[in-house]
């Protein structure tokens, strides 16, 4: 195999079904034996240039011309010339700004697959069923192995037009809805649906994604699907944390007229804000994560 340091992709022709498009669109994946970069390689550099004031140096030379008088006395005549020299000093200060945000779902060492529930990953992205109030839960803490961290962004690229986003700040704790997420939408076929993080400084242990509406171009789809990114300053977990935990699930008997509906370990609830907390403060914590 030939080692390479850079790859350039130059599209040449549209597919016949997309002949009217003005931009090439595609999903791209590059598979190789990648290793995480050191922090020094994931920083951006800014330079500040400071100039010191200009200083001038004068040099005077004197020429003497003899003059003869009747008394044979010589009187010197003096002429002066001045030469100026300009000196400029430039000082450059370099500062580095950390840029450590990576997609936690892009590497099993950041968020392993067993820390994701309520969705199946396929070639088309994560799949979440329609026709109900289904949700995908991402345990950022990986069963308490990772301390809470600040999430920079959450983006969904697929057939999802709108979705609710809920945050968890304590491992095993309750999920709180981001009320602003309900007002965001992505209508274009290739438009991503992105969400800003919760208030600055809030540290998260988990994220729950509950799609609400399909894009009109995909209205006949039977499942929500999207490539999902969760960007934060993730660091690889140790081997102990990457071991699939063993859980025991206990199922309680339900009243015959009120059966409990379990779908990918996420129970149902109504999407109006008065019921949101009722659901997310319910017994979902007693369910298995798998």
Q: What is the pLDDT of residue 106?
A: 94
CATH T-level fold of 100-235+266-284: Jelly Rolls (2.60.120)
Q: Which segments within 99-183 are labelled E, that is strand?
A: 102-103, 116-117, 120-122, 125-129, 136-139, 151-158, 160-168, 175-177
CB under 8 Å to 28, separation ≥6 — which residues?
A: 9
Residue 175 CA to residue 260 CA, distance in Å, equals: 20
pLDDT along the chain (290 residues), means of 10: 68 81 77 67 52 50 49 49 51 50 94 96 94 93 96 96 96 92 92 84 92 96 96 93 69 37 34 34 37
Other CB atoms within 10 A of residue 255 CB: 7
Cβ(101)–Cβ(131) under 8 Å? no
- H-assigned helices in the chain: 273-280
Under 8 Å CB-to-CB from 194, ≥6 apart: which residues? 153, 154, 155, 156, 184
Instruction: Give the domain ranges of the chain.
Output: 100-235+266-284
- Of the candidates 244, 252, 256, the residue with the CA atom closest to the CA atom of residue 283: 252
- For the chain, the residue count is 290
pTM for this one? 0.55
Q: Quick one: pLDDT at residue 1? A: 56
- What is d(CA 31, CA 46) in angstroms, rounded to the nearest whole number? 32
């Amino acid at each position: 195999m030939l080692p390479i340091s850079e790859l350039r992709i130059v599209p040449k022709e549209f597919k016949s079904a997309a002949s009217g498009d003005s931009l090439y669109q595609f999903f791209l994946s590059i598979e190789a034996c990648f290793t995480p970069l050191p922090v020094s390689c994931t920083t951006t550099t800014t330079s500040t240039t400071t100039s010191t004031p200009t200083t001038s140096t004068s040099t005077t030379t004197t020429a003497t011309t003899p003059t003869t008088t009747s008394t044979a006395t010589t009187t010197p005549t003096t002429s002066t010339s001045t030469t100026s020299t300009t000196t400029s000093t430039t000082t450059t200060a370099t500062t580095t700004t950390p840029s450590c945000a990576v997609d936690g779902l892009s590497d099993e060492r950041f968020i392993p697959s067993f820390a994701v529930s309520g969705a199946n990953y396929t070639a088309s992205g994560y799949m979440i069923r329609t026709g109900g109030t289904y949700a995908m839960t991402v345990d950022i803490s990986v069963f308490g192995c990772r301390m809470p961290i600040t999430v920079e962004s959450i983006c969904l690229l697929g057939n999802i037009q709108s979705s609710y986003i809920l945050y968890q700040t304590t491992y095993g704790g309750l999920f709180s809805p981001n009320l602003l997420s309900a007002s965001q939408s992505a209508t274009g076929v290739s438009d991503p649906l992105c969400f800003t993080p919760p208030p600055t400084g809030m540290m998260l242990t988990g994220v729950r994604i509950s799609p609400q509406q399909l894009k009109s171009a995909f209205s006949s789809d039977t499942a929500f699907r999207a490539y999902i990114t969760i960007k934060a300053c993730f660091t690889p977990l140790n081997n102990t944390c990457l071991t699939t935990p063993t859980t025991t699930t206990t199922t309680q008997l339900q009243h015959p007229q009120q059966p409990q509906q379990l779908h990918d370990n996420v129970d149902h609830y109504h999407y109006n804000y008065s019921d949101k907390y009722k659901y997310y403060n319910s017994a979902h914590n007693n369910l298995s994560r798998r």
